[in-house]
């Protein structure tokens, strides 16, 4: 399994990606499939589109490859750490930007690095969690907690975090969404075992 950002599809007008897929398919022992998948289409309300490439060794393949069916998103409110009520004072520059372009009243999560955006559906879906984002909980007037980051990437809250908050944010932003991986691995196993 390979995963990357969707920008990979447009490098050199798509020629680089075509070349990559061609190289992978030239390994004749494997069937190779690819698709853009969004975390939000697999139960967790984070808009995170990624290219997934799956290779199945033909000699072990017992049935045709099928991509997981999409499932409805759970409400974004279920991913908020409502217990954390510590309000944060934003910097003067951020406050001035927000005065010029106020956030929608019903927003839950926004990325403060993109204050010029309108944040449509920010009460229903979280923006993409990235290594350098500034995810902000509008309702509770504070930055996202570690637990919110974990929930929005599909990790259990019992997940061990042996690094600083800064390093953790980078790692969680660079990780794959657990919910998408769960469904992909489930389908890989079904493709390999005829049960």
pLDDT per residue as tens digits for the range 132-145: 888 999 899 999 99
pLDDT of residue 96: 82
Q: What SS3 state is found at 86?
A: coil
Strand-pair partners of 2: 53
Give pLDDT, residue 3. 97
Q: Grade residue 114 by pLDDT with cuts at 50, 70 and 90.
A: confident
Instruction: Tell which phi-psi region holds residue 81, choosing left (phi > 0), alpha (psi between -120 and 50) or beta.
Output: beta
Q: Is the pLDDT of residue 169 over 90?
A: no
Rg of the chain's alpha carbons, rounded to an integer? 19
Predicted pLDDT of residue 195? 61
Taking 90 as the threshold, does the pLDDT of residue 9 lie above it? Answer: yes
Instruction: Give the pLDDT of residue 4.
Output: 96
pLDDT at 153: 96
> Is the pLDDT higher at 118 or at 24?
24
**In this structure, what token pair is assigned to residue 180?**
């998408």
Query: Which tops the pLDDT comparison, 41 or 157?
Result: 41
Distance CA 157, CA 175 (A): 16
- Supply the pLDDT for residue 105: 81
For residues 168-195, give the mean pLDDT: 92
Q: Which 3 state secondary structure label does DSSP give 186?
A: helix
Mapped onto helix, strand or coil, the DSSP state of residue 19 is: helix
In this predicted structure, the answer to whether residue 119 has a pLDDT above a threshold of 80 is: no
Q: What is the model's pTM?
A: 0.89
pLDDT at site 112: 87
Average pLDDT value over all residues in the chain:
92
Of residues 116 and 43, which shows the higher confidence score? Answer: 43
Asked whether the predicted pLDDT for residue 118 surpasses 90, the reply is no
């Amino acid at each position: 399994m390979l995963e990357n950002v969707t920008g990979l599809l447009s490098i050199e007008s798509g020629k680089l990606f075509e070349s990559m897929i061609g190289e992978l398919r030239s390994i004749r022992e494997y069937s190779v499939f690819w698709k853009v998948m969004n975390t939000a289409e697999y139960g967790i309300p984070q808009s995170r589109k990624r290219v997934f490439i799956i290779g199945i060794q033909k000699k072990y393949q017992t049935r045709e490859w099928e991509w997981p069916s999409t499932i409805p998103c759970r409400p974004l409110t279920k991913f908020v750490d409502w217990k954390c009520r510590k309000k944060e004072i934003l910097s003067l520059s951020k406050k001035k930007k927000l005065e010029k372009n106020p956030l929608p009243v019903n927003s839950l999560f926004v990325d403060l690095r993109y204050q010029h955006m309108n944040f449509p559906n920010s009460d229903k879906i979280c923006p993409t969690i990235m290594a350098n984002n500034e995810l902000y909980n509008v309702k509770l007037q504070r930055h996202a907690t570690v637990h919110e980051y974990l929930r929005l990437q599909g990790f259990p809250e019992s997940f061990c975090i042996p690094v600083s908050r800064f390093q953790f944010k980078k790692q969680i932003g660079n990780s794959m969404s657990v919910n998408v991986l769960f469904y992909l691995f489930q389908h890989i196993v079904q493709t390999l075992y005829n049960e």
